[in-house]
Amino acid sequence: MTTTSNLSHIHRFVPGQDRQHPPLLLLHGTGGDENDLIGLGELVAPGRALISPRGKVLENGMPRFFRRLSEGVFDEEDLRRRASDLAGFIAEASEAYGLGAPVALGFSNGANIAAALLLLHPQALAGAVLLRPMTPLRSPPPAELGGKPVLMLSGAADPIVPAANAGALADVLRERGASVRHETLPAGHGLTQADVQQTKAWLAGL
């Protein structure tokens, strides 16, 4: 396992023995870093390579992947720029470590940047697990997702993400050709054991 800043994002890389399945790109939530989701990645996709970058934006000292103007209101200009930067990092990491396109596993802010990547840079990802995501763009571009697999897990008691907002994101991704499974769990914004179990089972079927 390595922690390095020799690419465009500070990140951790965990080599994998499983070369038949795509690696995971782990994208933390607000206040997390490159260490936060390593344990989750190892639980849900044992043996796969893991790439875990740190978001470059600081909000009151807490790392994020893009700026927001207030709770649930995103700086879309910054979001588009940061998504482009992250797509560039994925290409760098894929070349540096000899990996194919990853499946993103993002939580909260990390899920939102993963959804933006699907819509703005679909070639960067092989699919995505979006844990507590929101619709990242008010006017999503006409992406062609060509059947990319997407798992969305929302929380029925999530105080941050309105159910209609998450449902709209699922619709947008389906309209652009993604194969979306959207489940609402008896949970809040935080992750539960059900998230782990459903994510592991879904990834095993890819």
Q: Catalytic: 18? A: no
Q: Helix axis angle, 76-97 relative to 109-120, nearest 10°?
A: 80
Cα–Cα distances (Å) from 146 to 85, 143, 179, in that order, read 23, 9, 8
Token pair of 179, please? Answer: 């194969």
Catalytic residue among 9, 121, 158, 182: 158
Residue 173, CB-side half-sphere exposure with 13 Å CA sphere: 32
Q: Is 85 a catalytic residue?
A: no
Catalytic residue among 52, 108, 182, 195: 108
70 belongs to the catalytic site: no
CB atoms within 10 A of CB 87: 18
Spatial distance between the Cα atoms of 183 and 206, rounded to a whole number of angstroms: 17
3-class DSSP assignment, residue 118: helix
Q: Of 8, 33, 75, 189, which residue is the catalytic one?
A: 189
Residues assigned a catalytic role: 108, 158, 189
